Amino acid sequence: MKTWTILVCLALAGPLGAEEAERPRVPLYTNEDLDRVRPYRDQTGVASRPDPGPPSAGDRPPASAGPARRGRSGGRATGGRGASRGETYWRGEAARVRERVRALDDQAADLRRRIAEKRAEPWTNRPRPPAGPAIAALEARIAALAERRRALENDLEDRARREGALPGWLR
């Protein structure tokens, strides 16, 4: 009887090592894998250095440097991705856009507050004009502010992408 009970229990428990078979396989990375992806390492931005900023008066290149040094002074990039502007420029642009977005958000919050006040006005004995058109106008202004906000952010992202700025520079 004992043997029969043991066999039934083993049959119900399933095959030995079933819990090991259900575990997902964990990938094993070796030095060969790291050597294979090493040429692509700089594409992640790991080797980027902050741009030192515009050169001072004593550091200006000689006049014979010509168009090859036009990167920061006015022309578009003449060679390679992101050759015209560096990390400092794009971080400054992102900060400027964030300030403008913050101002638009403040305006939208003020309009939302005004809408809430109009909806919460107590009834009085005198007839009051309907607040519907006034609220609709304020909501339209909020929608316009939201559209301007999206346009500012999208414009920055598109310009940065076209000129080869790394995404981390815009954060």
Residue-wise pLDDT for 87-122, tens only, equals 889 999 999 999 999 999 999 999 999 888 887 766
How would residue 70 be classed by pLDDT, with cut points 50, 70 and 90? very low
Minimum mean pLDDT range among 32-41, 51-60, 112-121? 51-60
Say what the pLDDT of residue 75 is.
41
Q: What percent of the chain has pLDDT over 90?
A: 27
pTM score > 0.85 for this model? no
Q: Per-residue pLDDT for 159 more than 70?
A: yes
Q: Per-residue pLDDT for 83 more than 60?
A: no
Say what the pLDDT of residue 94 is.
93
Question: Are 165 and 85 in contact, with CB atoms under 8 Å apart?
Answer: yes
With a CB cutoff of 8 Å and minimum separation 6, the contacts of 72 are 54, 55, 84, 85, 89
Q: Which residue has the tokens 């009887």?
A: 1
Say what the pLDDT of residue 14 is.
61
Query: First vs last Cα of the chain: how many Å apart?
Result: 72
Say how far residue 90 (Cα) sits from the centre of its chain: 13
Domain ranges of the chain: 84-121+132-165
Average pLDDT over residues 162-168: 88
